[in-house]
C-alpha cells in the first residue's frame, strides 16, 4: 500500500517526475513511527535512570546513617585475631560468648591510622563493628545524590509547573 503525502503549500498530490519524493510506503511509515517511539523510550529511560540513581544513593546514605548512629558510644571489646592482607584487613572479637568477624575499619570505609587491639561493636547488633568509631559522613553517596538530584528536581518541578500554569487569555 502506498500513501501519497502532499507537499506543504500545494493543493494536491505531487505529480510528474517528483512523484517518487512524495510517496511513502507502509514500511517507511512504520520505520518513522518506530524511530519516534525509540526516541521517546530513550528519553524516558534516561529519566528513570536519573531517578533510580538518585533514590538508591539517598537510600544507601540513610541506611548507613541509621546503622552507624551513635558509633562514638559503641562498646569496646578486645580483638582476638587480626589479619592484614593485600585485599584488606580481617579481625575477630568476642561478645557474650559468640565470636564475630569484621572487615570494616570505620563507618566510611577506611582510615590511615587505627588501633589493632580494640574493636567497637554495635550494642544491638554485635556483628557490626569498626576499629575507628567516627561518625558516618558518606560524602561519596551524598555527592552522587546531589549530582543526580539536580536534574531530577529540575524535571520534577518542570512537570509541576506545566500542570499548574494558567491558560493564556488570548
134-148 pLDDT per residue, tens: 888 888 889 999 999
- Give the per-residue SS3 of the chain: CEEECCCCCCCCCCCHHHHHHHEEEHHHHHHHHHHHHHHHHHHHHHHHHHHHHHHHHHHHHHHHHHHCCCHHHCEEEEEEEEEEECCEEEEEEEECCEEEEECCCCCCCCCCCCCCCEEEECCCCCCCEECCCCCCCCHHHHHHHHHHHHHHHHHHHHHHHHHHCCCCCC
User: Total structural domains in the chain?
Assistant: 2
The pTM of the whole model exceeds 0.85: no
Shared domain check, 52 and 30: yes
11 occurs within a structural domain: no
14-60 pLDDT per residue, tens: 444 444 555 567 778 888 888 888 988 888 999 999 999 999 999 99
10 occurs within a structural domain: no
Shared domain check, 112 and 160: no
Shared domain check, 87 and 109: yes
Shared domain check, 102 and 52: no
31 occurs within a structural domain: yes
Structural domain of 79: 71-130
Amino acid at each position: 500500500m502506498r500513501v501519497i503525502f502532499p507537499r506543504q503549500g500545494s493543493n494536491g498530490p505531487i505529480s510528474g517526475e517528483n512523484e517518487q519524493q512524495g510517496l511513502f510506503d507502509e514500511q517507511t511509515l512504520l520505520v518513522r513511527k518506530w524511530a519516534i517511539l525509540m526516541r521517546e523510550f530513550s528519553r524516558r529511560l534516561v529519566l528513570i535512570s536519573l531517578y533510580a540513581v538518585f533514590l538508591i544513593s539517598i537510600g544507601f546514605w540513610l541506611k548507613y546513617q541509621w546503622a552507624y548512629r551513635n558509633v562514638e558510644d559503641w562498646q569496646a571489646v578486645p580483638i582476638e585475631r587480626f589479619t592484614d592482607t593485600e585485599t584488606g584487613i580481617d579481625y575477630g572479637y568476642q561478645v557474650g560468648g559468640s565470636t564475630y568477624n569484621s572487615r570494616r575499619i570505620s563507618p566510611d570505609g577506611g582510615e590511615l591510622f587505627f588501633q589493632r587491639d580494640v574493636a567497637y561493636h554495635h550494642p544491638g547488633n554485635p556483628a557490626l563493628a569498626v576499629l575507628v568509631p567516627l561518625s558516618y559522613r558518606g560524602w561519596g553517596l551524598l555527592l552522587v545524590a546531589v549530582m543526580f538530584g539536580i536534574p531530577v528536581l529540575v524535571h520534577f518541578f518542570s512537570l509541576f509547573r506545566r500542570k499548574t500554569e494558567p491558560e493564556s487569555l488570548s
